[in-house]
Chains A and B, each alone.
Chain A
Amino acid sequence: MTRDAISDVIIEIIKDIDEDADTATLASDKPLRDQLDLDSMDFLDIVMELRKRYKLQIPEEDYPQLATLDSCVNYLEPKLRDI
């Protein structure tokens, strides 16, 4: 998957959790939870959705790497290379 495609998937998942989320003005290098009304349960929703779509297991110690949109893409790009 391309970096843009990965970014789009994350935004899509966020909108699925909260359709009112303002994703148009997201700063890709700032923490998602500072910019959106997402709590820890919502974050687990993102992890679960990635697991369901791509059979991707993300260990708990890697969760901090999903803090920003940029870091999500950096983390997921090698794992989703063959998708």
Chain B
Amino acid sequence: MNTLPAQQRIVITGVGLAAPNADNLSDFRAKVLAGISEIREIELRYMGKAPAGVCTFPETRYRKKKDNKRGTRAGCLGVYAAHEALADAGIDFSEYRRDLTGVYIGLTEHGTVETENEVYNISQYGYNVDYWTHHHNPRTVLNNPAGEITMSLGITGPHYSVGAACAAGNAALIQGAQMLRLGEVELALCGGISESVGSFGIFASFKAQGALASHQDPTKASRPFDLDRDGIVISEGACLYCLETLDRALRRGAKIYGEIVGYAMNSDAMDFVMPHGPRQAECIRLALSRAGLKPEDIDIVNTHATGTRQGDIEECRGLAEIFADCPTTWFNNTKSIIGHAMGAAGVLELAANLPAFTDNMVHPTINVDRLDPECALPNLVLNEARAVDKVETILNNSFGMVGINSVIIVKKYNG
């Protein structure tokens, strides 16, 4: 992709995020390098206690409390991350037009939290729908978080949500890159958001599948690749990126985090919940070929692995085959530290690794006390961060239910 003209090359120039252990990239990087998880126990309606990733961030830095009350949690997270990303990129709309800015938000689901809350609300009034809120529809339309971002920033370009289960964050990045390439927008604010910790139903469904993690110590509950892993820790969060074309970014002297040099999406076409390793491997190979890269060119593979027994194995099988004989390719997993941030997963996990281009460190996969032999990838960075010679390329996997796969490859921009 670096044979493309500068107007077609896509670079990341700003990052804004809220994660369970940080509310900015710098702190986030420090925490993941140190393997510090702040997963805690929460109490859910009907479900009782469960480990979850909950975000703490300045909720009224960019939006009044009244507007946070009117909108959704996803909107609140998104507005914060959007403003932070633009500030980080140094964009104040003097060089970019608001009507040529697009907002593309990846979500696994939306409306679940609001609907559960509202059904509970009217249950307190004998299920009389006269008590059903007028706020329900604007809160539950799928574009709600993206729309709340446009309202807060006065952005009048297109906005919508991209639904791709747990691959949605990557999918939204891909959408933003494509819209820039088409010239539909000149600036893309894209990423993913999760408010899923507010939904008891999501927890209950994972539990019913035997896929909800539990542990006496909530910070140890998310343990991909460990022999004793028992499922997913659900997290909320948001990570938004400013994407620009390289020529515009250079023209305004933007800081460049990296270049999106390849991406791919495909479908398992197999099962509602069980992932299919071979199709994931096809997706990885497709992304590599589009990027003009070989497996050995990849320095960090950030795995999707959520901590389910079979899911982790499926992914590792494909990775082991593709990355056989790649002595300088390192593997890690961010979900072990921040849980599974659903629509925000892919993009938060990429953000956790992007600073490796400057600090040459691979963050650890924590909570691996006994590595499952079926997940024993060579060069899997476990429990402690690893300093490496160089990091020039990061490959980021995200896979989701009903068999949706996404891969993004980001390269260090060297000028």
Residue numbers of A with Cβ under 8 A of B are 17-20, 37, 41, 44, 48, 51-52, 57
Cβ A44 vs Cβ B131 within 8 A: no
The DSSP consensus for interface residues of chain B is helix
Cβ A20 vs Cβ B66 within 8 A: yes
Q: Cβ of B251 < 8 Å from any Cβ of A?
A: no
11 intermolecular pairs with C-beta atoms under 8 Å apart: A18-B64, A18-B66, A20-B65, A37-B66, A41-B134, A44-B134, A48-B133, A51-B130, A51-B131, A52-B125, A52-B131
Q: Cβ of B252 < 8 Å from any Cβ of A?
A: no
Chain A residue contacts of B370, Cβ below 8 A: none
Q: Cβ of B215 < 8 Å from any Cβ of A?
A: no
- How many residues does chain B have at the interface if contact means C-beta atoms less than 8 Å apart? 11
Chain B residue contacts of A18, Cβ below 8 A: 64-66
Chain B residue contacts of A44, Cβ below 8 A: 134
B70 to chain A, nearest CB (A): 7
Per-residue CB proximity of B50-77 to A under 8 Å, as 1/0?
0000000000000011100110000000
Cα distance, A33 to B69, chains bound together (Å)? 19
The residue on B at minimum CB distance from A21 is: B66
Per the 8 Å Cβ criterion, residues 132-171 of B in contact with A are: 133-135
Cα distance, A8 to B34, chains bound together (Å)? 53
For chains A and B in complex, what number of residue pairs have CB atoms within 8 angstroms? 23
Chain A residue contacts of B70, Cβ below 8 A: 41
Instruction: List 9 A-B pairs, minimum CB-CB distance, nearest first.
Output: A18-B66, A44-B134, A19-B65, A41-B134, A52-B131, A20-B64, A51-B130, A17-B66, A20-B66
Cα distance, A30 to B55, chains bound together (Å)? 42
Cα distance, A44 to B66, chains bound together (Å)? 15
The residue on A at minimum CB distance from B66 is: A18
Per-residue CB proximity of B111-132 to A under 8 Å, as 1/0?
0000000000000010000110
Cα distance, A37 to B70, chains bound together (Å)? 13
Cα distance, A44 to B130, chains bound together (Å)? 12
B7 to chain A, nearest CB (A): 42
Chain A residue contacts of B135, Cβ below 8 A: 41
Chain B residue contacts of A17, Cβ below 8 A: 66, 69
Per the 8 Å Cβ criterion, residues 363-407 of B in contact with A are: none
Cα distance, A20 to B69, chains bound together (Å)? 12
Chain A residue contacts of B134, Cβ below 8 A: 41, 44, 48
Chain B residue contacts of A41, Cβ below 8 A: 70, 134-135
Chain B residue contacts of A52, Cβ below 8 A: 125, 131
Chain A residue contacts of B69, Cβ below 8 A: 17
Given contacts A17-B66, A48-B134, A52-B131, 12 further A-B contacts (CB under 8 A): A17-B69, A19-B65, A19-B66, A20-B64, A37-B66, A41-B70, A41-B134, A41-B135, A48-B131, A51-B130, A52-B125, A57-B130
Chain B residue contacts of A48, Cβ below 8 A: 131, 133-134
Most chain A CB inside 10 Å of its own CB: which residue of B66, B69, B125:
B66
Cα distance, A43 to B368, chains bound together (Å)? 54
The residue on A at minimum CB distance from B70 is: A41
Cα distance, A57 to B131, chains bound together (Å)? 10
Cα distance, A19 to B64, chains bound together (Å)? 10
Per-residue CB proximity of B7-44 to A under 8 Å, as 1/0?
00000000000000000000000000000000000000
Chain B residue contacts of A37, Cβ below 8 A: 66
Cα distance, A48 to B131, chains bound together (Å)? 7
Cα distance, A51 to B125, chains bound together (Å)? 10
